[in-house]
């Protein structure tokens, strides 16, 4: 059993298995608060074959932090189906390969520095924590495919913590909307990049315009650099 409040490190072991035969199967995919990251959204909208704009409209709610004018994107639950996730089915997650970071981590949660982990719920709610299957925590994270999510989320965290960008969002009317567009609504941002030749603003000798047109991750990296450049230019010292 894994009934300790002590944080676990990557080398520690824990008991866990989640499968359709378990009584709580898919219960954690209902009435849950999940914030989506830019990388989550790219993965899901491409899996569904829809634009970021359509994805955001259908499946998310936009939030705004009053102190920092930081926009955030919350996964919407289906109000007409007992607040279940739109993507849960009898056999589990229907977009499992592209499920968001939070779903991959569940039931684990990280401390602020990301060095220790603890289950968000106990084994009375997540029966999988009572299972006999033993994992080294680091191996379980790898099995959940967390690595690219962690890498992109780290880049996004640096953007969120950027003081100039925070000042820019707070001081300039419309800046929070631009931040939201560039981070979350990449397909609409792409239109702006080419309409307004935004690639000419970023001090990179070779912005690959073909890649910006076709590769969402190249575009996302560009979006992060472009936002920092804009804040750098517009915010007074």
| Residues engaged in binding ligand SF4 (CB under 6 A) | 18, 22, 24-29, 85, 87-88, 93, 95, 99-100, 103, 106-107, 126-128
| Of residues 230, 107, 211, 86, the one with CA closest to residue 167 | 230
Q: Rounded distance, CA 82 to CA 88, Å?
A: 12
91 or 233: whose CB is closer to ligand SF4?
A: 91
Q: Rounded distance, CA 237 to CA 232, Å?
A: 9
| Of residues 190, 132, 176, 183, the one with CA closest to residue 158 | 183
Please identify the residue of the shown chain whose CB is closest to the bound ligand SF4: 128
85 or 193: whose CB is closer to ligand SF4?
A: 85
Taking each helix axis from N to C end, the angle separating 175-184 and 186-195, rounded to the nearest 10 degrees, works out to: 110
39 or 106: whose CB is closer to ligand SF4?
A: 106
Q: Rounded distance, CA 12 to CA 34, Å?
A: 26
30 or 68: whose CB is closer to ligand SF4?
A: 30
201 three-class SS: coil
Q: Rounded distance, CA 227 to CA 222, Å?
A: 9
The distance of closest approach from Cβ of residue 225 to ligand SF4 in the complex, given in angstroms and rounded to an integer, is 29
45 or 99: whose CB is closer to ligand SF4?
A: 99
Measured between alpha carbons, how far is residue 204 from residues 32, 220, 229 in Å? Answer: 41, 15, 11
108 or 231: whose CB is closer to ligand SF4?
A: 108
The distance of closest approach from Cβ of residue 111 to ligand SF4 in the complex, given in angstroms and rounded to an integer, is 20
Cis bond upstream, residue 224 (ω within 30): no
Tally of CB atoms within 10 A around 218? 16
72 three-class SS: strand
């Amino acid at each position: 059993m894994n009934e300790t409040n002590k944080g676990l490190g990557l080398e520690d072991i824990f008991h866990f298995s989640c499968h359709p035969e378990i009584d709580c199967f898919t219960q954690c995919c209902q009435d849950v608060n999940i914030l989506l990251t830019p990388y989550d959204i790219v993965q899901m909208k491409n899996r569904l074959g829809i634009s970021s704009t359509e994805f955001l409209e259908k499946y998310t709610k936009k939030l705004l932090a009053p102190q920092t004018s930081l926009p955030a994107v919350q996964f919407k639950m289906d109000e007409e189906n007992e607040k279940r996730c739109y993507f849960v089915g009898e056999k589990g997650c229907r977009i499992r390969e592209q499920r968001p970071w939070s779903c991959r981590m569940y039931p684990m949660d990280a401390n602020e520095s990301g060095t220790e982990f603890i289950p968000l719920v106990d084994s009375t709610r997540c029966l999988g924590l009572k299972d006999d299957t033993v994992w080294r925590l680091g191996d379980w994270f790898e099995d959940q495919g967390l690595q690219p999510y962690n890498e992109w989320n780290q880049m996004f965290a640096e953007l969120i913590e950027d003081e100039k960008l925070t000042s820019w969002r707070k001081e300039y009317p419309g800046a929070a909307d631009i931040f939201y567009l560039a981070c979350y609504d990449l397909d609409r941002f792409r239109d702006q990049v080419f309409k307004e030749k935004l690639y000419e603003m970023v001090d990179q000798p070779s912005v690959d315009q073909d890649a910006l047109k076709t590769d969402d991750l190249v575009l996302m990296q560009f979006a992060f650099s472009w936002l920092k450049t804009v804040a750098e230019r517009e915010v007074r010292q």
